[in-house]
Each structure stands twice: as structure tokens, then as C-alpha cells.
Amino acid sequence: MLPIKNPQFVNCYVDLRKLPEELKPEIALVGRSNVGKSSLINRVCKRKKLAKSSSTPGKTRTINFYDMDGSWYFVDLPGYGYAKVSKEEQARWGRIIERYLKNRQQLKGVIFLIDIRHEPGNNDRQMKDWLTHCELPVLVVATKADKLSRAQTLKQLAVIRKSLGLPFDPIPFSAETGLGEKEVAEALEEILNLETVPRNTGEG
């Protein structure tokens, strides 16, 4: 399924009821606003502008679907923790993201992004707990690793691991240099190849 030859933007959604009905596998990206979700999609797809990235946080404000050679979807979710978005709007999106993660049958796994330079915040820990609750395969990626030295990188990986209570270090990743790209691709491949049983979403 990788490398991806022909990635295509499909659509952006604000309403979960409008999401594609077909049963193609989906991999979603979650993390703080500005952490590098859209940039990771571009790196994995080897395209500069497939997903719109921006130095202004809060760029992705919808659920964006990208078709990966017709075999699976990358799903870019709105980032959390952006102060300029009103509390109400943040809470509303929080509920939509939770519902998507908990109930979406097509969802096969999640890439959870953390900025390597910072200790995870409360909302990151909350996301970690929520993902654990959802019982999905989760790949934790530490973004913007090009901004740190090798020694600082190792130190920060341990900080993030401890703070989130992870069994492994996150994958150090850089959308700029391609560091970690191979590891992310391998993990995606593994998740997409998993034999999955229908999710118990507590519904129906």
C-alpha cells in the first residue's frame, strides 16, 4: 500500500453523518494545532501542497479526507488547543473528534503527534487516555525533530514517553528532513495489514 503513487484530496467535512459510506480503511491524525499533522501527510505522500499546512495554528478546521491510491484514506482532523478558537468551538470539535474516534468502523489506527520540543500538555494526556479507551492501534510520532540535536532528541523522547505513560519511545519525525519517514511508513503498512474484527463501539 506504500509508497503512495496517486494521493488525492477527497473532501472536507464538518458533519460526521456526511462522511464517505464505503468501507475503505482510514488512518486518522490527531494532535495539537500546529503540531505538523498536515505536513506529515504531505511528507508521506511526497507532495508539497496536498494538505494545506500553515505557520498560523488552526489551519485545518474540518475533517479532511485524502484518498491513498484508492485503497485507504488518510484523515486529517482539526487540531486541539488553539487559544484563538473559542471555548465553545473547541468543545464542539472535541466532541466530534471523540465520536469519530470511538464510533467510526472504518478507522483502523491513529497517528498521534506530539511536538518533540515540548512536554505534552493536559489536552495531550487527555487525548492519550481517550485513544487508550478506544482500543485502536496508535502510533506516537514526535514532530519537528530537525529543530533539536541528537542528544536533545533522545532526552525529549524519554520526556514524552514518561509524560504519556507509553510502553515505547515515540518515533522522532521531521517533515523537513524526512527523518522517521520510513518508520512511519512501515507502521502504517502494518496497521493497514492487520486483520481487524468489527469494533465494539457500544452502539447498535
Among the residue ranges 12-20, 62-70, 139-147, 152-160, the one whose residues contact ligand GTP (CB under 6 A): 139-147
Nearer to ligand GTP, 109 or 180 (CB): 180
The residues binding Mg ion (CB under 5 A) are 37-38, 59-60
Among 1, 10, 16, 54, binds ligand GTP (CB under 6 A): 54
Q: How many CA atoms are closer than 13 Å to the CA of 120, on its beta-carbon side?
A: 26
What residues contact 95, with CB distance under 8 A and at least 6 apart? none
153 touching ligand GTP, by CB under 6 A: no
Nearer to ligand GTP, 147 or 194 (CB): 147
Minimum gap (Å) between residue 143 Cβ and ligand GTP: 5
Task: State the Cα–Cα distance between residues 47 and 41, nearest whole angstrom.
Answer: 8
Instruction: Select the binding partner of residue 153 from Mg ion, ligand GTP, none (C-beta < 5 to 8 A, by kind).
Output: none
Beta-bridge partners for 139: 111
Which amino acid does the sequence have at 2? L
Minimum gap (Å) between residue 25 Cβ and ligand GTP: 21
Nearer to ligand GTP, 54 or 193 (CB): 54
Task: State the Cα–Cα distance between residues 122 and 163, nearest whole angstrom.
Answer: 10
Instruction: Select the binding partner of residue 176 from ligand GTP, Mg ion, none (C-beta < 5 to 8 A, by kind).
Output: ligand GTP
Q: How many CB atoms lie within 10 A of CB 138?
A: 18
Asked whether the beta carbons of 82 and 34 are under 8 A apart, the reply is: yes
